[in-house]
Structure 1
Amino acid sequence: MKKSIAQISIIFMIFTLCLTIVPQTSFAAEVRNEQYATGVYSLAFPQLVNNDNLQVQDKINHDIQLFLMKFMQPDGKVKPEEAKLTYEVHYLSNDLFSIEFTAYTFWGGAHGQTISTSFNYDLKTGEELKLTQMFDYKPSEINKAIFAHCEKNSIPLYNDFKGITQYPSNFYLTSPTTPVLVFQQYDIAPYSSGIIKVELK
């Protein structure tokens, strides 16, 4: 019996030593899909997992929860007849996280309302990134891209739209160097043009 216990102890020590010697690899950031439905509300949303910095991960997940709460409790509006939230992760690495939410609400009337909201995070600091922090596009370059995109795709703009007057705040990333600007319905074009997405190259 004593011999068996001694052998087990040695094996356990060797196993522990091996675990210590094997280099620890960091986990890659991932997104876990979550679903929530109650009454008129149907929500699909992500939760960040496996990020190296748990404080950053918790901060971003908390931001997402606040966004969901705001969607379900719109200021100054009665309860909608239908409300649906979906999302798409456009870019995810160990450094950057870019996500777009699409919210559809129907309050009655001829048609519902669709709003696209994007968030871009630095996964090392938890900071939400702005377009002007990451890129140095001139307004003239952005306007050129908008008009070229709409002309190529036959998207009608407002007749009096001459270009942006301030830098857009709503964008997502398809790569660390490729932003896509998002313009809501009615921003620069009539409702029939829908949400307009312009890639900057």
Structure 2
Amino acid sequence: MKKITTALITCCFILGITTGVWAEEANIVTFPMNAKKYIVNGNDKMMDSTTFTEAGRIYVPFRYLGYSLGADEKEVSYDASVNTVSLQLNGQAIVATLGSKILQVNNIDVQMDVAPLLRNGRVYLPARYIAEAQGYTVRWDANTNSVLLSKEALSENQPQITTKKIQSETDTLIVDMELPVISGLKNTELQESLNKEILFNATQNQADHEKQALEDKLASQSGEYPFRTHSLYYKYQTFPSKDMLALIIMTSDYTGGAHGSNYRQYINIDVKNGKRITLKELFKDDVDYKQIINREVAKQIKASEERGEHFFFQGDLAFKTIRDTQGFYIKGDNLVICFDQYEIAPYASGFPEFEIPLSQLKSYM
């Protein structure tokens, strides 16, 4: 019975994929409720499935979400043996697993608040997790009873990002780093400084890990404990908006023990004026921005705990205030406040993020 079911699901994913794919950049995408179509820049595209709601969330078909954002047929696939759907989109490798709230983007775990669902041979998930990573704003349009994805035109000063790879492997350390390289920034001095900083930090980190791995291997020869090969990985994500560019550099390493460690660096650039900015600089001088953000973060923590979605530290370790060097980035119409692992929550909670609508902060910014 299991083999038959798997075969049927696989067939369902194969059937219907000849639907035309929109190659032009999609500035506005609409998924109407209870309709077997989606609309790209005003043009109807047919689907073999419909959008639906469950537990207050709106689910769209994974395959057609990929198509709507510019993926072609060969870039969307389903692996029935491990219950995963995969999408190659604008240099991002995106993998979703049925029943899991973890979405993988370029092998980096992204926490979702719901898991993908399987309905009638199609995998569904909320559009925001993939669309927002591609620079889209996602909202519900009550006038058309639709999920609306829209992309704001980027500034003409928006720089280009290419990838520099550094890879090596020995019996003590595996290194696989993908580093962002900025070009076309209006402020060439800042551009050169950022590229040097990113490369220097990565190569210095590699040198430190090589030294530690060798020392740990020599120490293990005493027989007190086995040596396990260390590792160091770098990935990055970009979030461009009209006049801003956010770079998130994600580091994962393993130096022994039960699990590895993860770190993130947030770089925010005002591309219009060619300067790197801090969270404080987003707000007016006379505004107590920390108080405003602290209040919203505390509110969202409480709501999340009441829903049983995430767990946060209590007592002396509980969240009290954001830092002067608080991580953040702009994603669509939201300011995203970012915390490190273990900063306000246990390891299993990953990197807690709190989205605050920019419209809510407009008068302070």
TM-score normalized by structure 1?
0.73
Structure 2 counterpart of 1:71, which letter?
N
Aligned pairs (5 A) from 1:76-91? 78-79=212-213, 81-91=230-240
Q: Could you tell me the percent identity over the aligned residues?
A: 22
Aligned equivalents of 2:298 and 2:347: distance in 1? 20
Which secondary structure state, in structure 2, belongs to the residue aligned with residue 85 of structure 1?
A: strand
Partner of 1:31: 161
Partner of 2:342: 186
Question: Is 1:129 aligned with 2:277?
Answer: yes
Query: Any conservation in 1 of the 2:253–2:260 contact (CA below 8 Å)?
Result: yes
- Greater CA deviation, 141-150 or 61-70? 141-150
Aligned equivalents of 1:72 and 1:116: distance in 2? 16
Aligned equivalents of 2:309 and 2:157: distance in 1? 45
Aligned equivalents of 1:90 and 1:46: distance in 2? 13
Aligned equivalents of 2:191 and 2:163: distance in 1? 15
Aligned equivalents of 2:235 and 2:305: distance in 1? 25
Higher RCO (CA-CA < 8 Å; seq separation 6+)? 1
Shift of 1:46: 1.1
Shift of 1:105: 0.4
Shift of 1:81: 0.4
Aligned pairs (5 A) from 1:101-180? 101-124=249-272, 126-135=274-283, 136=289, 138=292, 139-149=294-304, 151-152=306-307, 154-160=309-315, 161-167=317-323, 169-175=326-332, 178-180=334-336
Query: Any conservation in 1 of the 2:186–2:274 contact (CA below 8 Å)?
Result: no
Partner of 1:197: 353
Query: Any conservation in 2 of the 1:35–1:45 contact (CA below 8 Å)?
Result: yes
Larger radius of gyration between Structure 1 and Structure 2: 1
Give the unaligned 5+ runs of structure 1.
1-25
Aligned equivalents of 1:181 and 1:125: distance in 2? 23
Which secondary structure state, in structure 2, belongs to the residue aligned with residue 72 of structure 1?
A: helix
The Cα offsets for residues 151-171 of structure 1, whole Å up to 9 and x where unpaired, read as 556111113254323436112
Query: Any conservation in 2 of the 1:53–1:124 contact (CA below 8 Å)?
Result: no
Query: Any conservation in 2 of the 1:145–1:199 contact (CA below 8 Å)?
Result: no
Partner of 1:55: 189
Structure 2 counterpart of 1:33, which letter?
T
Aligned equivalents of 2:268 and 2:305: distance in 1? 25
Shift of 1:191: 1.3
RMSD between aligned residues: 2.6
Partner of 1:43: 177
Task: Please list every run of at least 4 consecutive aligned residues from structure 1 whose deviation after the TM superposition is greater than 6 angstroms.
Answer: none
Q: How many residues are matched?
A: 173
Give the unaligned 5+ runs of structure 2.
1-155, 214-228, 284-288, 358-365
The Cα offsets for residues 97-130 of structure 1, whole Å up to 9 and x where unpaired, read as 2111111100111111111221112235554321
Query: Any conservation in 2 of the 1:98–1:172 contact (CA below 8 Å)?
Result: yes
Measured at CA, do residues 113 and 99 of structure 1 come closer, stay the same or move farther in structure 2, by a change above 3 Å?
same
